[in-house]
Amino acid sequence: MESIPPELNTPTYIDVLEQFDAAADWFCLDRNIWKRLRLPQRALCVTMPIRMDNGDVHVFQGFRVQHDTSLGPTKGGVRYHPGVNLGEVAALAMNMTWKCALVGLPYGGAKGGIRCNPKNLSRRELQRLTRRYTAEILPLIGPDHDIPAPDVGTNEQVMAWMMDTYSQQRGYAVPGVVTGKPICIGGSLGREEATGRGVVYITLETLRHLGIKAEGSTAVVQGFGNVGSIAARFLISNGIKVVGVSDSTCGVYNSNGLDISALISYKKSKHTLEGYSNAEMITNEELFGLECTILVPAALSGQITEENAGRLKCRIIVEGANSPTTSGADEILRERGVFVIPDILANSGGVIVSYFEWVQDLQKYFWKEKEINERLQEVIITAFNEVLKFSISENIDMRKASMVKAIKRLADAHLARGLYP
């Protein structure tokens, strides 16, 4: 197989590609489709000069990558983070393709991002940057083409600015161009909690499969942003004791269980977990060494590596983040008997409810939150059971089973559509 193009040659892309190649090799994927799916269908790099509040002009770099459009328009988040690069964005777009295919959504995968630290930008600077980025990627996006959503470092306000910028160019409101936006302009009930809620639905099904009672189980959550904090809250409401959590600065631990509501309030007011007094302060590395039933990595990619995989003391890993586990770590976890629920299944709740939001925008008809949560639970648990059945019947782990099922759906679509021209 061809080598990775140098512009995509990053650790995240290498890991995602290794997982794809292993699954494709396992079921003897058509070589022509194999070669096509190893690379993104379309990628755009943009340069954005932005006038800062002090009058200086700073030049930012941004990206939007569409991996595959065989099943429909592309879908994927936009992240604002200092580590954003083309290879990472392309890898995450590829993962979005598998995620959408796995849960049966009529989307291909996309991803976007800007290399910046949003914490260092004022609201006015963030708005100028967002609107300029939207204008630069305008040729690629649209409700029938590519639908952005929030990701690391972005939120519903960023989506509102993107939606407004796109709509200004069209001359009328186009709510379906993005998802994860405020409810007052076409957002969906249940969207903000969807990824964390889906992680917990998957966790409970995994516990049932393994014969482990939720009551008395313990959990550790790495990453205390939107996904991690909401997952922690729902874990507790289902009888699971959360003993450790962390953010980008530090971690906190309490063997008797953390008060997640108090932690969420503290993080909201202080923007950090540092200084929280009702728990023991620990490092992120120490967090991975805590004994627990369930570990939920819900931060950034590449957090569980060959260096720390052997030190984990959990029975189950439910990947709330995208690509949190490297390929080398996967092998170690497999040998140790750790039951891993891969990201493309575990954190698919966000894109599932994003799909619901998109459908509601197109229909101009909105659903009740109870209906949305019930539909989310039905879709994600159906996908889990399909993957679990396939995993058991073929004697393969859940990651490979998820990848094979997703890739097979993509391959069938490519073969049915044929080759153009």
Domain span at residue 168 reads: 6-175
99/120 Cα distance (integer angstroms): 32
| 267 phi/psi in degrees, rounded to 5 | -65, -35
Residue 166's CB: how many other CB atoms inside 10 A? 24
| Position 294 in a domain | yes
CATH number, residue 208: 3.40.50.720
In a domain, 331, yes or no: yes
Same-domain status, 169 and 215: no
Q: Which residues, listed in sequence order, are joined to residue 295 by a DSSP beta bridge?
A: 220, 317
Write the CB contacts of 131 (distance below 8 Å, at least 6 apart in sequence). Answer: 161, 162, 164, 165
Residue 236 and residue 158 share a domain:
no
**Structurally, how many domains does the chain consist of?**
2
Per-residue pLDDT of the chain (421 residues; tens, 9 = 90+): 778 999 999 999 999 999 999 999 999 999 999 999 999 999 999 999 999 999 999 999 999 999 999 999 999 999 999 999 999 999 999 999 999 999 999 999 999 999 999 999 999 999 999 999 999 999 999 999 999 999 999 999 999 999 999 999 999 999 999 999 999 999 999 999 999 999 999 999 999 999 999 999 999 999 999 999 999 999 999 999 999 999 988 999 999 999 999 999 999 999 899 999 889 999 988 999 999 999 999 998 899 999 999 999 999 999 999 999 999 999 999 999 999 999 999 999 999 999 999 999 999 999 999 999 999 999 999 999 999 999 999 999 999 999 999 999 999 999 999 999 8
In a domain, residue 398? The reply is: no
Distance CA 410, CA 102 (A): 9
Predicted local confidence at residue 3, as pLDDT: 85
Is 310 a member of any domain? yes
pTM, to two decimals: 0.95
111 and 220 share a domain? no
Residue ranges with strand state E in 67-125? 74-81, 108-115
Assigned domain for 150 exists: yes
Burial of 96 (0-12, 13-18, 19+ CB in 10 A): buried
Q: Are residues 198 and 131 part of one domain? A: no
Q: Is residue 113 part of a domain?
A: yes
Of the candidates 35, 75, 99, 111, the residue annotated as catalytic is 111
Helix, strand, or coil here: 316? strand
Residue 391 included in any domain: no
Cα–Cα distance for residue pair 348/195, rounded to 1 Å: 7
Is 313 known to be catalytic? no
118 found inside a domain: yes
Contacts of 417 (CB under 8 A, 6+ apart): 70
